[in-house]
Structure 1
Amino acid sequence: MSANPYTHLGFNPVPGNVSVVSDLTAKLQKSAQTLADAHTMIEKLRSGSSWEGDAAVAFREQLDGALPKNLQNAHTSITKATTALSDWQKALDGYQDRARTLDGQAQTAKGKIETAEGTEKTAAANPDLKLAGKTFTDDAELKNAQARLDKATEELNNAREAVNNAKTAYNDVIKKARELEENHATDARGKARILRESTDKLAPEEPNWFEKAMDWVGDNLTDILGAIAAIAGLAALFFAVPVGPILLLVAAAASAATLISRLSNPVVRASLKDGFTKGEFDSDFWNNAVGVVGDTLGMVPGIGAAARGINGAARSASAGAEALTLGQKLSSAGGKTWLAAQRIHAADNPLTTWLVKGAANPATAAKIVDVSVSGAGALTGTYGVAKNLWDEIKNPAAENAATGADGVRAGSFDGAGHGATALKTLKILFGAH
């Protein structure tokens, strides 16, 4: 990794190498010219009359295939890429020139901070500051001491104000550098999109596209499963029996799969471990922690239905006079699980019920609240998948906002609703009333 050239900023807001981009642009321009020359030559061979005979006819028949078109498309594609790279070269040069200016301003600001802190240190060491609280019997001595104290205090206050002003000026430079970093990243994503689109409808179909698509699904499986769970949970609110309870169980199963997928990632486990053992509560930790809590809560309806179904089947079997076959036991457990799922689906969220208690139409208000909360979950889940498809919508602020929204929802509505389900399930399992 190359050293940061902007040492006074403390980070590189505009990574990239102008000379490398320039060299690549020149190579692409040369390639585009070569393709253009090749296409021209092929066209001359196809239409020329200097070569006659069967061999010439056979050769021209081969040239009448996809080769001329592919050569022309390749030339068009590389020309588009060359233009994008040339534009990026100019933009990158401008970004880096701006970064050098900001780095110089940061150096100046740091120098002013050091000078101001030195002045503050000297002012703080002024022995006249120790005159405060002393008593004098002579009025002249008292006046003189008070004047010296006032002057020393004023110098110290001025020095501290100068330190604050110098630090504010430095922070303003860093803020501008961060804005430059964001502009650079946005522009880079835009140019990257143009490069990707330079082959759109021009290049032949890429081989192994299905395998690559499956690789992408594997790489983003956690986000995909989380989105499925959130969307299924939202859809369950709009349907009665039998679709609603089925969607509820689908959401629970997807939540369980999401949790397994999330915790199988060593990076996620390491982030959670570092948070609890080293106090590294960064954005990755909170994103993973909120995800684990949300996945766990999302599993509750499915686990509750299954537990209550198995418990009910076991009690029915123990109360029966005849022994049941394995198939009869499974059928009984399945039926009672389905009945439990219907009851869980129909249950009210205690927090929602409390919020709409004074509404004119509590049932309608509760529906609006539940749909809004679940809709927010579906939105954040969908964004989690979409940002992996389109780099240009990736935004740290949006990702943090999504994590915050998921955390609030998990700690309020999901916690209340699924907590009530879990509590009722435990009461049923242990025979409490």
Structure 2
Amino acid sequence: MTDYAGLGFDPVPGNAGAVAAVSERCSAAFAVPDTPPARWQGAAADGFRTRLEAVVSELTAVRRAMRAAAGVLDEWATTLLGNQRRAEELDRRALRLRRALAEAADELDQTGALARFTPAHAEAHARATARHDELSRQLDEVLDEARLLERDHRAEARRVVERLRAEEPPTLVADTLTGFSAFTAELASVLLGPPRPASGRGAAAAFRAGLG
């Protein structure tokens, strides 16, 4: 986890590697059974075919839903990496400004102690004050950018959850994704507020179930 010492907070929590790992698991192929050979006839064969058709239908839906979830997660991993690169750049700017601001504060104190003695000292203090104020303004701008990035990051995380929820895959997918505790724990950190109780089915339900 990156320590955003310049910003003072992490505007883009998450682990792209964990997300990518779950996407890879969702993309893993699994076989859908074939129907029994046509030469098998009779009531038992007909009953078996009926049950097998239901299983094949569900497994096909599972595979389709998991592949769709993998696509959503791949997009999120890419977004997460881009947001984190932006946050790191803002953090570097904030660190430089904080160091310069500390130096400006020292200069402000030094010139302030002498400002009353001569006009030259007063002018030096005025310049120090202006420099300190300008650096403070620049730092505030960087922090505002970071807060906007955080807002957008969280909004996109919510959209990811909604897209997963829209897939509504069968219970098998939910049970599978719930087991990926690293994934759910990392993605949970980008949600606003306390998690809602898990309800429904599918990848989004598994996501919420893992938040507790």
TM-score greater than 0.5 by the shorter chain: yes
Give the 3-state SS of the residue equivalent to 1:52 in structure 2. Answer: coil
Cα deviation for residue 80 of structure 1 reads: 1.6
Inter-partner Cα distance in structure 1 for 2:105 and 2:152: 34
Pair 1:107 & 2:95 matched: yes
Inter-partner Cα distance in structure 1 for 2:127 and 2:41: 98
Give CA deviations for 1:100-121 in whole Å, capped at 9, x if unaligned: 0111010011011011112212
Unaligned runs of 5+ in 1: 132-148, 205-433
Cα deviation for residue 130 of structure 1 reads: 4.1
Cα deviation for residue 56 of structure 1 reads: 4.6
Within-5 A mapping of 1:142-181: 149-181=118-150
Is the CA contact 1:4–1:11 (under 8 Å) kept in the aligned structure 2? Answer: no
Q: Which residue is equivalent to 2:184?
A: none
Q: Which residue is equivalent to 1:60?
A: 49
Q: Which residue is equivalent to 2:112?
A: 124
Is the CA contact 1:123–1:156 (under 8 Å) kept in the aligned structure 2? Answer: yes
Cα deviation for residue 53 of structure 1 reads: 5.0
Within-5 A mapping of 1:198-213: 198-199=167-168, 203=170
For residue 75 of structure 1, the aligned residue among 63, 66, 69 is: 63
Give CA deviations for 1:134-170 in whole Å, capped at 9, x if unaligned: xxxxxxxxxxxxxxx1211110000011111111111
Inter-partner Cα distance in structure 2 for 1:71 and 1:114: 62
- The amino acid of 1:114's aligned partner reads A
- The amino acid of 1:96's aligned partner reads Q
Inter-partner Cα distance in structure 1 for 2:50 and 2:164: 34
Cα deviation for residue 7 of structure 1 reads: 1.6
Within-5 A mapping of 1:235-246: none
Q: Which runs of 4+ in 1 moved over 2 A?
A: 51-62
Inter-partner Cα distance in structure 2 for 1:130 and 1:194: 65
Cα deviation for residue 58 of structure 1 reads: 4.7
Greater RCO (CA < 8 Å, at least 6 residues apart): 2
Cα deviation for residue 59 of structure 1 reads: 3.1
Cα deviation for residue 61 of structure 1 reads: 3.6
Give the 3-state SS of the residue equivalent to 2:27 in structure 1. Answer: helix
Rg larger in 1 or in 2? 1
- The amino acid of 1:103's aligned partner reads D
Q: Which residue is equivalent to 1:25?
A: 23
Inter-partner Cα distance in structure 1 for 2:132 and 2:15: 37
- The amino acid of 2:86's aligned partner reads R
Structure with a larger share of its residues in helix: 1
| Count of equivalent residues | 170
Cα deviation for residue 60 of structure 1 reads: 2.4
Inter-partner Cα distance in structure 2 for 1:130 and 1:172: 33
Cα deviation for residue 5 of structure 1 reads: 1.8
Inter-partner Cα distance in structure 1 for 2:47 and 2:11: 59
Percent identity between the two aligned chains: 25
For residue 159 of structure 2, the aligned residue among 165, 190, 193 is: 190
Inter-partner Cα distance in structure 2 for 1:178 and 1:73: 40
Give CA deviations for 1:79-111 in whole Å, capped at 9, x if unaligned: 221111111000000011100011101001101
Give CA deviations for 1:398-429 in whole Å, capped at 9, x if unaligned: xxxxxxxxxxxxxxxxxxxxxxxxxxxxxxxx
Inter-partner Cα distance in structure 2 for 1:178 and 1:75: 39
- The amino acid of 2:51's aligned partner reads Q
Q: Which residue is equivalent to 2:4?
A: 6
Q: Normalization by structure 1: what TM-score?
A: 0.37
Pair 1:90 & 2:78 matched: yes
Give the 3-state SS of the residue equivalent to 1:16 in structure 2. Answer: coil
Q: Normalization by structure 2: what TM-score?
A: 0.74
Within-5 A mapping of 1:410-425: none
- The amino acid of 1:72's aligned partner reads T
Cα 1:113–1:171 shift into 2, 3 Å: same
